[in-house]
Amino acid sequence: MQPKVYVSGYGIVSSLGIGADSNFTALRSSESGISNPSLLGTIHQDMPVGELKVSNAELAELVGLQGLITSRTTLLAILAAQEAVETAGLTPKILDNTALINGTSVGGMDISEWAYQDVLREKEVDYIPSFQGHDCGYSTMKVANKLGLKGILQTISTACSSSANAIMNAGRVIKSGMADCVIAGGTDALSLFTLNGFNSLKILDQAYCKPFDEERQGLNLGEGAAFLVLESEQSLNKRKGTALAELVGYGNANDTYHQTASSPEGKGALMAMKKALSISGVPPEKIDYINAHGTGTANNDLSESRAIKEVFGAEVPSYSSTKAYTGHTLGAAGAIEAVFSILAIQHQMIFPNLNFSRSMEVIKSPVTSLTPMKVQHVLSNSFGFGGNCSSLIFADIS
* Number of domains present in the structure of the chain: 2
- Residues 148 and 63 reside in one and the same domain: yes
The pLDDT score that the predictor gives to residue 262 is 85
Contact criterion met (CB below 8 Å) for 108 and 140: no
| Known active-site residue 44 | no
Strands (E), the chain: 5-14, 17-18, 49-50, 99-103, 153-156, 181-188, 221-222, 224-232, 245-254, 289-291, 318-320, 349-350, 371-372, 377-383, 388-395
**Judgement on whether residues 314 and 353 belong to the same structural domain of the protein:** yes
**Mean pLDDT, rounded, for 107-120:** 89
The DSSP symbol for 114 reads H
Of the residues 134, 209, 328, 389, only one is catalytic, namely 328
Residue 335 belongs to domain with CATH number: 3.40.47.10
Percentage above 70 pLDDT, the chain: 100
What span, in angstroms and rounded, lies between the C-alpha atoms of 234 and 250?
21
**Last residue within a domain, chosen from 189, 208, 238:** 238
Catalytic residue among 160, 181, 209, 389: 160
293 has catalytic annotation: yes
Q: Rounded CA gap, 359 and 118, in Å?
A: 49
What band does 126 get if pLDDT is binned at 50, 70 and 90?
confident
Residues 260 and 179 in one domain: no
Residues 251 and 137 in one domain: no
* Crossing angle (nearest 10°) for helices 333-347 and 162-176: 70
Q: How far apart are CA 129 and CA 117, in angstroms?
A: 15
264 pLDDT exceeds 70? yes
Within 13 A of 213's CA, how many CA atoms are on the CB side?
20
Q: Whole-model pTM above 0.85?
A: yes
Q: 184, 219, 238 — which closes off a domain?
A: 238
Assess whether 113 and 199 both reside in one domain. yes
What was the pLDDT predicted at 207? 97
Q: Are 214 and 251 in the same domain?
A: no
Could you tell me if 304 and 230 lie in one domain?
no
Tell whether 175 and 56 lie within a shared domain: yes
| String of DSSP letters for 263-301 | -TT-HHHHHHHHHHHHHHT--GGG--EEE----S-HHHH
Task: Name the residue range of residue 361's domain.
Answer: 247-395
The answer on pLDDT for 28 being more than 80 is yes
Work out the average pLDDT over 110-115: 89
Please identify which of the residues 134, 136, 181, 293 carries the catalytic annotation. Answer: 293
314, 179: one domain: no
Please confirm, yes or no, whether 377 is among the known catalytic residues. no
CA-to-CA distance for 109 and 188, rounded, in angstroms?
9
Residues 293 and 377 in one domain: yes
pLDDT, tens digit, 9 for 90 and up, residues 265-305: 899 999 999 999 999 999 999 999 999 999 999 999 999 99
Average pLDDT over residues 224-244: 97
Same domain? 187 vs 262: no
Tell which of 220, 238, 256 closes a domain. 238
